[in-house]
Amino acid sequence: MVKSIPSVKMAFRILRLFSDDNTARGVNELARKLEINPSSCFNLVKTLLHESMLDIDSVTKKYSLGHGIANLAFQAKNGRKITDIAAPFMDTLTGDFEITAGLWRVDIGQRWRLLASSESRAAARISMTIGQRLPLLAGANGRAFLINNKLDNKTIKSAYSTIIWQAPLPLKKYLKHVTQAKQAGFAVDNGYLFKGVTSISVPIVSPDGDTMFCLSATLFSAQFSTKLLHDLGPRLTEAGQIINTEYFGA
């Protein structure tokens, strides 16, 4: 007979509770509902949060199921990782436009984490480190996130205030960029987050309508032009849509 591990059983009880009624809860409420020690509950919840099995609302401090659950479900369904699906599209984009392509995931603490990248063979090119993180609303990814995800003004202002921009970018102008991104289907940061670096991003959205990933193209600002945006923007958008369909099956 296999000996069960109490902490693992309790972690599954927590996940099943959130799954059963889809209600966000704080630690104390969760502990009362499951009749467990609040301290033990806190440690379990923090572990599940770290593994992206739970998400936390930064305002209410309540927890709900995280995107890590969906990732496991989708990979179990089709046996393919999103990095494997995205790789050939990223390689094609880097070869055709001499850019660096990146695949990002919304991670713990509401930040972007780089899952994969593809660099061109140009002598001078931008390199990105796998695992590097960025604030959720920073750069082109942040604007792309807001194409589909509707955050209230208070939340946007709070998140925006923590971002360090290398070039001045008033919130009003940032929100204008978001409006333009919604119209175009892709977002652009032209040297604001990092001077001399331009990024273009498209969201990859779950069937529930939440942006879980972004596909980005990063280049030196000296490479950027209206013509390049006209050519690269639609190609990046098309690649994002195909990745979205192949991964989520929608």
**In the prediction, which pLDDT does 108 show?**
61
CATH number for the domain spanning 49: value is 1.10.10.10
Handedness of CA 227, 229, 233, 236 (dihedral sign): positive
Same domain, 229 and 153: yes
- Evaluated on CA atoms 240, 241, 242, 246, the torsion sign reads positive
Do residues 57 and 82 share a domain? no
Last residue of a domain, one of 40, 65, 90: 65
Question: Averaged over 3-21, what is the pLDDT?
Answer: 86
**What pLDDT is stored for residue 210 in this prediction?**
85
Residue 163 is assigned to a structural domain of this protein: yes
Same domain, 84 and 44: no
Residues 92 and 20 occupy one common structural domain: no
Confidence band, pLDDT 50/70/90 cuts, at residue 78: low
Q: What is the mean pLDDT of the chain?
A: 89
> Where among 44, 65, 86 does a domain terminate?
65
Give residue-wise pLDDT tens across range 123-162. Answer: 999 999 998 989 999 999 999 999 998 888 888 999 999 9
One domain for residues 108 and 158? yes
**Any idea what the CATH number is for the domain that residue 99 is in?**
3.30.450.40
Query: How far is 94 from 118, CA to CA, in rounded Å?
Result: 7
Q: At residue 124, what are phi and psi to the nearest 5 degrees?
A: -110, 115
Give the H or E element holding residue 77. Answer: helix 67-78
pLDDT tens track for 92-108: 999 999 999 999 998 76
Q: Give the tens place of pLDDT for each residue, 80-89.
A: 789 999 999 9
DSSP letter at 189 equals E
Kindly state whether residue 131 falls inside one of the protein's structural domains: yes
* Residue 129 and residue 83 in one domain: yes
Residues 177 and 145 sit within 8 Å (Cβ to Cβ)? no
Residues 147 and 52 both lie in one domain: no
Question: Would you place residue 79 in the very low, low, confident or very high pLDDT band (cuts 50, 70, 90)?
Answer: low
Instruction: Among 16, 42, 65, give the residue marking a domain's end.
Output: 65
Q: Is residue 72 part of a domain?
A: no
- CA dist 154 and 176 (Å) reads 17
> At 201, phi and psi to the nearest 5?
-135, 150
Half-sphere exposure of 194 (CA within 13 A, CB side): 13
CA 110, distance to chain mean position in Å, is: 8
Domains identified in the chain, total number? 2
Q: What residues have CB less than 8 Å from 117, skipping those under 6 apart? A: 90, 100, 101, 102, 103, 127, 128, 130
Amino acid (1-letter code) at residue 189: D
Query: Is the domain of 144 the same as that of 222?
Result: yes
Q: What residue type is assigned to position 66 of the chain?
A: G
The pTM score is 0.74
Verify that 225 and 131 share a domain, yes or no. yes
In a shared domain, residues 112 and 196: yes
> What is the separation, in whole angstroms, between the first and last Cα of the chain?
42
Residue 174 is assigned to a structural domain of this protein: yes
The sign of the torsion formed by the CA atoms of 152, 155, 157, 160 equals negative
Rg (CA), the chain: 20
Which structural domain, as residue segments, surrounds residue 55?
6-65
Helix (H, G, I), strand (E, B) or coil at 233: helix
Q: Based on the fold, state whether residues 159 and 96 are members of the same structural domain.
A: yes
